[in-house]
Structure 1
Amino acid sequence: MKKKRKPVFATIILCMLIAGILVPAATLFIWIFTERWTWPELIPQVFSKRAVLEVTGRKRELLQILGSSILISGVTAALSGVIGLMTARALTLYCFPGKRLVYFFTILPFMVPATVFAMGIQVTFIKMGLNNRISGVIIAHLISSLPYAVRLIMEGTQAVGNRLEEQARVLGASPFQALYKVSLPVLMPVILPAISMSYVVSFSQYFLTLMIGGGKVKTFTIIMVPYLQSGNRNIASIYSGIFLGVTLAVFALLEGAAGRWLKRGGGEFYTSE
Structure 2
Amino acid sequence: MNQIPPIDLARIDATTREALASHALKPIETEREFVESEGLPFVIKWVSTLADKPRAAKPARGGPHNPFAAPEPALLLGDLPPSHRVLLNKFPVMARHLLVVTQQFEAQSAALSVGDLHALAVLVGGNGGLGFYNGGTVAGASQPHKHLQWIPELPPLAACLPRMLARRAEVFTFRHAFASIDASAWRTPDTGAFLQATYARLLAQAFGSPPAGDPPPYNLLLTRDWMWLVPRRAEFWEDMSINALGFAGSLFVKSRGRFDALKAAGPINALRAVAVPA
Bin for the TM-score computed over the shorter chain: under 0.3
For normalisation by structure 1, the TM-score amounts to: 0.23
For normalisation by structure 2, the TM-score amounts to: 0.22
More helix by share: 1
Greater RCO, 1 or 2 (C-alpha within 8 Å, sep 6+): 1
